[in-house]
Every structure is written in structure tokens, then in C-alpha cells.
Structure 1
């Protein structure tokens, strides 16, 4: 690591930077709190909020709305729901152990602990279900699609994961994606595909969500012990961007015709409708790769030829190579990478833990090497004052999974108040449930139209009473 990079990380103790669901915004998290930026163009990345608060571990924004889910380092078991435009905390929930990750979409909020997962209705934060006694998940690995498909690992010894319908609370299929334990996985924006990587990091696999069949197998490289940092599809689901602890970011191209063929076969077999949730799909063998990648005469010929070769050799020959790549200036740092539309042109974004956002040119037709065209410094937080309020808490009881009354508080629901009402001297402990829901709905309702969705977020006409 170069001297300047070491000095930067020493001063800031590193940053955690993550994109929102459509890559139009990013959150910078660190000891200073968290800050939110909007990415409007290649030349413009604008800071829109700075908490100037305590050491923060997690900050997840819901698209371009005002809702942010926050977890601090001093209270890792507490989830805070923020309305950042008002600078107020809407509510908070306490869980049995430290929160390792949080995932959001329009309908669900998922909280992942080491050995359990909690699913909330994001409209009113009502607990919908909890998934208990999962395999120890120290990294908090889980992924939530925009269609509320949920994926999480079920083993520490192999790369097997469980698909779960978080919309209807139903267990779906299991997929044995790799022989080694999983290190990363993510859904495509259209919800059709799931990309996975193991701890080895050399092979990236893409599966059909409906039936668990392998659609693609990509060779990232031959180097062993590579740590995958991010695995993100583009907004159109045509490309998969993969970053690791090496100096190269790989972009793989998805064959959508092949995806359609797999789904067509799935409709004919109708296996997903008759699945009882106990089925498991093993897709680690080389035979699956030969069969599903034979969508052209050339690939069919290669598949026929590799049938007679030793398995390690045939695996390498049938794996697709990168469509495009980026050569980073510094290896060993963690990058979150994605392909986004900026001013109607595709660009590759690389958010680095050194506190910079790098923008690269990306040719969606020809691929090839991507050139750096802009770098944005995200390290200097704005000076300001953030009001901190002592809100009552809601405990998530591990025994019955219901919200229970905190012994020091009188209310069983998290109190919510607007910033204006606090300034007027309104007593926060007298805030009604309707006030809480109003601020929650205001934070998530009517966000701008995103490139991932055809329609805007629908309004809420009724609310279930507690």
C-alpha cells in the first residue's frame, strides 16, 4: 500500500461507502456519522445530508426517498429509522444481538443478525416474520431483491443458500452454488437472476431465481484467495460488475436470450409451482455449465468437445471471460462498483474505502478497458449541528418475536416527532401513532421515478391500527 493511501486510512480509519438500490445515491459511513450524496452527473456529486453524529456502522437509504436505516457502533443491536430531510428519528427497534446488515425495498425492511433474520413491513415497521436458527452468518450476508426475494446462506461448509419469498412469507428453493462457503451474492434489478461468489473468488455463477438453474459461469481469474468486495448488476440487468481486493474490476455480459430460454423451460416443467420449499438444486458440476451455455453452435461444439476432457480443464474452457474491465490504481482496498446511467450514458462507478468515488467510461457495445474520467473526494464532512432526541425503544424479543415494552419506557411503540414540533416545545412522549406513521409515510412516499421501475411508489390509503 502506498504511503499516501496509508496516511488517508490512518486519518479517517477507513470509510464504508455503499450505493442505494438504483445507484443514484451513496452513503459514506464512518466515525463522524454518516453522509448522503446524490450522483447527478459525471461532474456533479452533491452532499445532501451530514449527521455529524456518533460512530456509524450502517446507513442504508431507500432509493431517493428521505428514509434511512441507521445502526451506530455504540448500540449495534438497535436499528434507527431516520427522516433525514427533517433531521429526525422516526422510530427505533432493539434486537437480541448485533445487527450485521440491513436491506430495503419498497415493501420490506430486512434486518440480519448472526443467527436470525427479521422481516418488517416498511410502511409501518410491523414485524412480519422472523427466520430463526440459521447457520452462523458472521458477515451478515443476505440479499433482498426489488421484488422481495430474499437470499441467505444456510451452511458454513459449502456455498449453499436459501431463497425465501419475503412478500408472502414462504420458503422457496435451496441452491448449492459453490463447493466453498459464500462470500457475496446479489439479485438483478428485474428479480430474475442471482449472482454468487465463493470465498475462493475465482468463479462467478448466475442462477435463475424461479428454478435455481445455472445460467452463466464466469471466470474472474485463476488467482486463489481473492476476496470479492461487491457483486452488482446494472440497472438493465445486462451486465454484472465484480470487484475484489485485486487491482482489477471485471464486468461480465449477461445473455438475456439464455435467461429467457431457461425461464421458458421452467414454465413448461412448472416445477416452481409444485415446490414445497424442501428441494435443493445442485449446480456446481461442470455438466450444467456445458448444457446451459450451449445456446449457439459454437458453444454446442465446445460443450461436446469438453465432455471428453478432465473436469478442471472443461470447467475453464466453458467459462465466459470478462466483457470489460477496470485497472485500479491501488490493490488491497475495498471498492463498491456498479454500472449506472449518468446523463443517459452508462458509466462504471467505483466507491473506495479511501473516501473517493471514481467514475469510468464504459462502452456497452464494445466493452474493453474502461478509462478513468473523474474522481470525487467524499472525505470532508460538512460542519453543522444535528439534533439528537431520546426516543423510546422497541425491543425485539428473541423468545416470542413480538415487540415488547422496554422496562424504562412507558410506550410500546417508538416515539416519533417532527423537527418543527420539537422546536415548538411539543412533548415527544405524547406523540401519537398517527404522527409516527405520518412521518414514516412522508419519508418513503412519492419518491422520484427511478431507472429500475416503471411506476412510482403507490400512495397508502389505509393503515392497520396497533
Structure 2
């Protein structure tokens, strides 16, 4: 998920800058009025600028392919044009123009996806040839879509309806529709893939419930309740690389972290997870964050007696609460999150459209309140303008793309599949109650 300013994109924040983390959360990219910027995270919870284009072009979208030199950008002055660059060489590899404003750009090692309001364009990232166009999609003015980082499960998720929270899943390698998920009653607000490409997190415009589905099985694996006091606008959902945690930002000051665990409760690497399996890292159940309180007790009671409560009541009370939470020092700016490791310590990173990165400590075992360790103002005032790179000829495109691609780095929720969380109850005669 990302955020930006200058157009009505998925992460728009009027007057702010565009910010997002790359696919494996090893770097931060930003688009500002002076161009685009790339940052890396340092072992001491710091941040280091590794590149600044200084082109003088107000950049409203930018994405970097993992840790490679390949960068895709869209500028405010040419919102229908996608520019693909080799940033280390300072060269433009190619550019494409589309029929309407580009609202989102997504990359993995196999595909590049361009999202317009009513269509999606799928490119082969090796030569940038367009492979397929999904036309006449439901109106999607925020450019909401998500591309799996995993080439083996190279799925694109996008809204299948503008009225309800239906998700269309498209296979970007085999170029066919995979499945449809009825995720929410309200229209979608956020989508995020796990690193293995087998789990999809969703949130609706209502903003109270976050769900995680297995793909392509369409099985609902987890449900989390962000809150019950007020409806909010979810800005970002982000899985940790190991798949054990899911972070959510909104228009409030609180960033929530949910913990996911399979019934087996074992640790492992999500990248090697098979069907229906994924590492849970630190482990723990849905009530871990508050299992000792009355809500934890009530949730357990609801699970045991779910058959005797109205379905809507049982669903609400059985949803998992946040395992950990962080409070932002300032509000009013859209935020994106990432969960990663610095050294051997888990960190929650939150970048805002104000150009500030907050680094929080995340206790992977106990959860709770995340302590703010450091904050960095990472985008300075626009510097001297550098001349825009000249476009290269078509014959040089494949070589530039090949060079740019080098260096690509090779208390949780209730598990709805675990009968221990929802034990079977014998049928009883209502007259006995």
C-alpha cells in the first residue's frame, strides 16, 4: 500500500508526498516535488538516502523492484505516462502512455501492473511488452489493487464491485481469472498479499473488520476487529515477511498489529509454506493480547456456545483483537506500515505523507504497546534540478531492463480452520435450555 499527493490515487493525501516500502521492506521510496528518492534502513534503526533523482518533476507515483535498480515513476505533469528507469545509470529505459490517469503501479520479478480507473494493464517486466488488458473493471477511482510479490503465485487482486467488498483474483502469469472472494458487505478500502502469495488481507470502507483469506481456495482464515467505537478509513494493510504479523494503519493515531497463527502453532518460513500452511513465527492465539481480561474470557465463551447466539453477535465477539499497537505522535497524514527485522529485533515502521518515518520496537512474544525508538524526516526541500534523462532507443530497452533487474534479492487471530477454537457442540433440544 502506498500514499501520495497530486492525484486521486490509492494513497492520496492532498498536499503530501507519495511514500511506500518496496516489496520486501528493505527500502523506502518517496515521490516529492523535486523528484523521487530511495532510502535504505540501517542496522541502528536509522535511514540513509541511497538515491535522489532531483529531476525537478513532481513525482506522484514511484515503485522500486525489490533491491534492484529498476524504478517505475509517474509525474504530476504527465499523469498518463509511465516511465521506467535504471536509477544507478540515471537512464530512462522506456515509457508508455495510457488512455487515462495512472492510479497505481505494482511490480514483482515477473510482471508490472498499471491500474487505471476502469482497466488494468499487465506487462512482462523483462521486456515491458504488454501481455494483457483487463477492461471494463468496476469504477476504481482510488486505483485499489495488489500484486503478489511471489512469482510462483503471481496474482493480482482488485475490486470486483463498487457496491460491495468483492475481490477479483487474476493470474498474471497464465492470464486468466482465478477466483472471486466475497470479502465484505461494504466496498473495499485496502488489499495486501503475503510474501508467499497465498494469503490476501482485506478491509472495507467501514474499517472495523480485517479479514485474511487463503487463495485460491477462498477460505476465510482469520478475522480481526480493529475497533468497535467508530468506523475508520483503513489506509494500509501490510504482512510481515515471515507471515506472522499483519499491520494496519488508518486515519486515526493508532497503528494496529495482529498476530496470525495456524492451529499447529509452529514456527517456520512463509516462503516454504504449502497449501493451507504458513509460518506463524511467535505463535499465539486471537486473545493473546487480552486473554487475561474479561473480553478474552467472553470470546472463549462465545466460541464454545456459538451455536446458541445470533450469528452476527457471535461473529463480532469471536473476532481477534490487536496483538500490539503503536501511537503516532502526529495525525492528519496518511500512513503506510511495514514489519521487518533490524538485526534480530522486530520493528514496526510507519512512514507518513508528511515525510516522516517512525521506528517502533515490536515485542514479537508479548505484543502490547510498541515503544517509539526513532523518527526521521526523510524528504528535504527540493534541491538543484538535474536535467531529465534522455529516452533510449527501443533496441536498448531489453539490455537496460536486464541490467536493472540484476541484484533483485533472490496476540493474533482466531484460526477459523482450527476446531479447538470453535469446538463442536452436541445438538440439544431447545426445551432443555
Task: Name the TM tier (shorter chain).
Answer: 0.7 to 0.9
**Structure 1 residue aligned with 2:431:** none
How many angstroms does 1:315 deviate by?
1.7
**Structure 1 residue aligned with 2:387:** 387
1:182 aligns with 2:143: no
Name the CA shift for 1:438/1:264 in 2 (closer, same or farther; >3 Å): closer
**Structure 1 residue aligned with 2:64:** 61
**Structure 1 residue aligned with 2:212:** 206
Distance 1:48 1:155 in 2: 40
Aligned partners of 2:60 and 2:75 also within 8 Å: yes
| Count of residue pairs the alignment pairs up | 367
Distance 1:128 1:156 in 2: 26
**Structure 2 residue aligned with 1:96:** 99
Any gaps of 5 or more consecutive residues in structure 1? Answer: 1-11, 266-297, 392-415, 417-430, 450-466
1:156 aligns with 2:162: yes
Question: TM-score w.r.t. structure 1 length?
Answer: 0.75
Distance 1:198 1:341 in 2: 29
Between Structure 1 and Structure 2, the one with more helix by share is: 1
1:294-309 correspondence runs (5 A): 302-309=302-309
1:343-358 correspondence runs (5 A): 343-358=343-358
Distance 1:41 1:384 in 2: 30
Q: Deviations over 1:116-160 (max 9, x none)?
A: 000001000011111011101100010000231110001011000
Distance 2:184 2:141 in 1: 19
1:375 aligns with 2:375: yes
How many angstroms does 1:344 deviate by?
2.5
**Structure 1 residue aligned with 2:425:** none
Structure possessing the higher radius of gyration over alpha carbons: 1
Distance 1:448 1:180 in 2: 38
Aligned partners of 1:228 and 1:244 also within 8 Å: yes
Aligned partners of 2:90 and 2:389 also within 8 Å: no
Question: TM-score w.r.t. structure 2 length?
Answer: 0.81
**Structure 2 residue aligned with 1:222:** 228
Name the CA shift for 1:384/1:51 in 2 (closer, same or farther; >3 Å): same
1:259-298 correspondence runs (5 A): 263=275
Q: Deviations over 1:318-373 (max 9, x none)?
A: 10011111122223321111111112321010101121111000111111110001
Aligned partners of 1:32 and 1:56 also within 8 Å: yes
How many angstroms does 1:219 deviate by?
0.5
How many angstroms does 1:390 deviate by?
4.9
The Cα RMSD (Å) is 2.2
Aligned partners of 1:159 and 1:179 also within 8 Å: yes
Aligned partners of 1:163 and 1:174 also within 8 Å: yes
Distance 1:116 1:259 in 2: 41
Structure 1 SS opposite 2:305: helix
1:28 aligns with 2:34: no
Aligned partners of 2:27 and 2:40 also within 8 Å: yes
How many angstroms does 1:307 deviate by?
2.2
